[in-house]
Chains A and B, each alone.
Chain A
Amino acid sequence: MMITGRAVLAPAGDADATPLYDDLPAHSAPVLAGFSVRERLGRKGTSTFDRATALAVVACGEALRDAGVDLTTVDPARVGLVLGTTVGSLASTMDFSRETLVQDKPYLVNPMQFPNTVMNCAAGQSAIWYGLRGVNATVAGGPIAFLQAMRYAVRAIEKSQADTVLVGAVEEFTPHTAWSSALSGTVAAGEAATVFVLRRAVTGMAEVLATAAGFTPADGPGALPGCVRRALAQAGASPEQVWAMATGDHLDDGEAGAVEAALGRRPLDLSPRARYGDCGAAAGGLALAAVLDRRADAPADAVAVVTGRARDGAVAAAVIRTVPE
């Protein structure tokens, strides 16, 4: 299964977020300060998009272009989309719900915002924008959502539910996420949209050789080493073949340690870590992008491991073989 295109919308670093929002725990944050959906896609049809949806629609378009997918020549029923998220747009749901408390009557909500309260809004609107009528799914997995989406997408193609699947994850920065991170005492909230184009092909950027998933309760020993070993076994790759790893961790070194436990050594660590803030569901996409960025350095016949783990104990891993440029 080949990755034939990609789009990464991620901030270059911290920026002044006050032109975007008034009520923030800190003025500076890892946000896409210059992002304007109106500039990118025009006014028509975009004014009701929340930020997560806007980022997703733009990233899907960039990924399709990057992969050279011409939607006028392929059957749209054979093109799918799988997106990862944490809760969709927390701002959309909270603000919509807030209206039910502060308006004269609780039902005086804006009907045009109601679709934004469902977590599959970004995937649904992206499908509408580009006319993607194949399998369309939204995976709510938080930090491992991107890898889960990849797993879902690979299966959809293997099952012949689609020929081409856009697979990605998106997380928006709003006062809601910024305060949530600040009050929870974690890394500052960031935002990113990462979308990759997946299909059966002989050429491309990288091959997805295997994915695996597992679980142990949060207070257990951790399921990641076993998950990485299973993914490698499925890929037919030995631990010695792993030249690089990229984790979704932004808290500590725990994930890298788990990969080391699985491999018996620590390969080149390309984890983006806190470079983009906590990008939630998009963390795995940023990790994969970090591997693709360094594909010129990959030894022949070597593989990279991309991992993620969620706080409650779910883990996932993918084994990637990059294709030389």
Chain B
Amino acid sequence: MSDHTEHLEELREIVAEVLELEPEEVADAGDFVDEYDADSLRAIEILARIEKKYKVDIPQSELNDMRSLKAVYTVVARYAGWRD
């Protein structure tokens, strides 16, 4: 598994857990709010778990851009310095 795939799957698991879904139910481009009933509390918790797991600090102002798994990956990659 490439780093990219591994990171994406780890993020998918975090998102699924917080949104009360199975990982396979979380599509890469699925909108958290419109498709999975996410709210601000869950969004903040997703951010919190990511910060804990990868030991990064991501400001809450990024939350507006983190509405899908793909978008989450892009933001986290930027802050964590992933080059995958």
- CB–CB under 8 A between A and B in the complex? yes
- Tell me the nearest residue of chain B to A43, going by C-beta: B20
B45 within 8 A of A: yes
A72-116 contact mask (Cβ, 8 Å, vs B): 1 or 0: 000000000000000000000000000000000000101110110
**Smallest beta-carbon distance A273→chain B, Å:** 40
- Chain B residues 23 to 43 lying within 8 A of chain A, measured CB to CB, are 37, 41-42
Q: Is the interface of A mostly helix, strand, loop or mixed?
A: loop
Whether A44 pairs with B20 at a CB distance below 8 angstroms is yes
Residues of A within 8 A of B48 (CB): 108, 110-111
A203 within 8 A of B: no
**Smallest beta-carbon distance B14→chain A, Å:** 13
The CA of A114 and the CA of B42, in the complex, are separated in Å by 11
- Chain A residues 190 to 231 lying within 8 A of chain B, measured CB to CB, are none
Whether B45 pairs with A112 at a CB distance below 8 angstroms is yes
Whether A110 pairs with B45 at a CB distance below 8 angstroms is yes
A115 CB contact (under 8 Å) in B18, B41, B52:
B41
B52-77 contact mask (Cβ, 8 Å, vs A): 1 or 0: 10000000000000000000000000
B80 within 8 A of A: no
Whether B20 pairs with A114 at a CB distance below 8 angstroms is no
Whether B41 pairs with A112 at a CB distance below 8 angstroms is yes
Size range of the interface on A? 10 to 19
The CA of A229 and the CA of B56, in the complex, are separated in Å by 66
Whether B20 pairs with A111 at a CB distance below 8 angstroms is no
How many residues on the B side are at the interface (Cβ–Cβ under 8 A)?
9
A236 within 8 A of B: no
A36-49 contact mask (Cβ, 8 Å, vs B): 1 or 0: 00000001111100
The CA of A114 and the CA of B48, in the complex, are separated in Å by 14
The CA of A202 and the CA of B44, in the complex, are separated in Å by 50
**Smallest beta-carbon distance B39→chain A, Å:** 9
Whether A47 pairs with B20 at a CB distance below 8 angstroms is yes
Residues of B within 8 A of A43 (CB): 20
Besides A44-B20, A108-B52, A112-B42, 18 new A-B residue pairs in contact (Cβ under 8 A), listed by A number: A43-B20, A44-B37, A45-B20, A45-B37, A46-B20, A47-B20, A108-B48, A110-B45, A110-B48, A111-B41, A111-B44, A111-B45, A111-B48, A112-B18, A112-B41, A112-B45, A114-B41, A115-B41
Give residues in A with beta carbon < 8 Å to B: 43-47, 108, 110-112, 114-115
The 7 closest A-B pairs by CB, nearest first: A111-B44, A111-B41, A112-B41, A47-B20, A112-B45, A44-B20, A111-B45
12 A-B residue pairings within 8 Å (CB atoms) = A44-B20, A44-B37, A47-B20, A110-B45, A111-B44, A111-B45, A111-B48, A112-B18, A112-B41, A112-B45, A114-B41, A115-B41
